[in-house]
Amino acid sequence: MLQQKKRPSDSWAQSVSSFSGDSGILIPDGCWDLVIMQSERGSGVLLTGQTTRPVQLSLPPGDEFLSISFPADVHLALPHRLVAVDEAILLSVEGSHFWLGKEKIEIPGSDDSESMVHRLRTAGLLRQDSVVASALDGHIEKDIRTVQRHFLASTGMTRMAFEQLRRLNEALEKLRLGQSPAQVAADCGYSDQAHLSRSMKRFAGLTPRQIQKNAENVVLIQE
């Protein structure tokens, strides 16, 4: 079973999660991640984009992953997008550092992730989009077309697609707490239970009943 230790971070990095153990299913959560991979072979750093599909994570014995998750209103301030939706790339690593753009960044541990995020900010590698941040809080201060443009630039996906992921995570949490699929569908704004099942199958790869039966193997990254 995949073991997760998670703590909240700040407005720039939504959460920090440590993974160890065997395997589990990671559900799309509306965040992009910097993943630090530690094994007896050394360190690796993976940059992921937003995800819209479930990811099966299997860790070899002794390996650990540290995932620093960034919210949708924070994006990398680079000349071009490094990863698209549902993509990931390995960043170049030199000893205890990795390269992001032209900056050489020290690989963090679980206790000093915020220091790395601060370094990224001071180096001008992170940018926060106030339009997206306001929309996430439910305050639409610009016209819809402007909001859509900012969402696409910051996340690589439309606002509607992102809201589907947020609703999915709300529904998943309710299912894990034992609520019936019919009640979850009604509470989360799905038209009916069949609509909920289609959404779950699309984004999580499992039906509501399967999620409840395998709750211990389904990892919700987002709070």
Does the residue 10 lie in any domain?
yes
| Number of structural domains the chain divides into | 2
Domain range for 81: 2-127
Task: Specify which residues 43 forms β-bridges with.
Answer: 38
Phi, psi of 194 (to 5 degrees): -65, -40
Does the residue 152 lie in any domain?
no
Does the residue 73 lie in any domain?
yes
Does the residue 17 lie in any domain?
yes
List of residues 6+ apart from 54 with CB closer than 8 A: 25, 26, 27, 28, 203, 204, 205, 206
Amino acid (one-letter) located at 130? S
Q: What is the pLDDT of residues 113-161, one digit of tens each?
A: 999 999 999 999 999 999 999 988 888 878 889 999 999 999 999 999 9
My answer on whether 118 and 210 are in the same domain is no
Say which DSSP state 92 is in.
P
CA distances from 7 to 117, 123, 212 (A): 15, 25, 24
User: Which helix (H) or strand (E) element contains residue 177?
Assistant: none
Q: From CA 156, how far away is CA 106, in angstroms rounded?
A: 27
My answer on whether 88 and 167 are in the same domain is no
Give the CATH number of the domain where residue 209 resides. Answer: 1.10.10
My answer on whether 178 and 121 are in the same domain is no
Residue 223 has a pLDDT of: 37
Q: From CA 213, how far away is CA 185, in angstroms rounded?
A: 18
Residue 55 has a pLDDT of: 87
My answer on whether 34 and 102 are in the same domain is yes
Q: From CA 182, how far away is CA 69, in angstroms rounded?
A: 31
Helix axes of 159-176 and 193-204: crossing angle, nearest 10 degrees: 100
Amino acid (one-letter) located at 127? R
Residue 218 has a pLDDT of: 62
Count of C-beta atoms within a 10 Å radius of residue 179: 18
Q: What is the pLDDT of residues 159-175, one digit of tens each?
A: 999 999 999 999 998 99
My answer on whether 118 and 190 are in the same domain is no
My answer on whether 123 and 24 are in the same domain is yes
My answer on whether 95 and 202 are in the same domain is no
What residue ranges of the chain have pLDDT lower than 50?
221-223
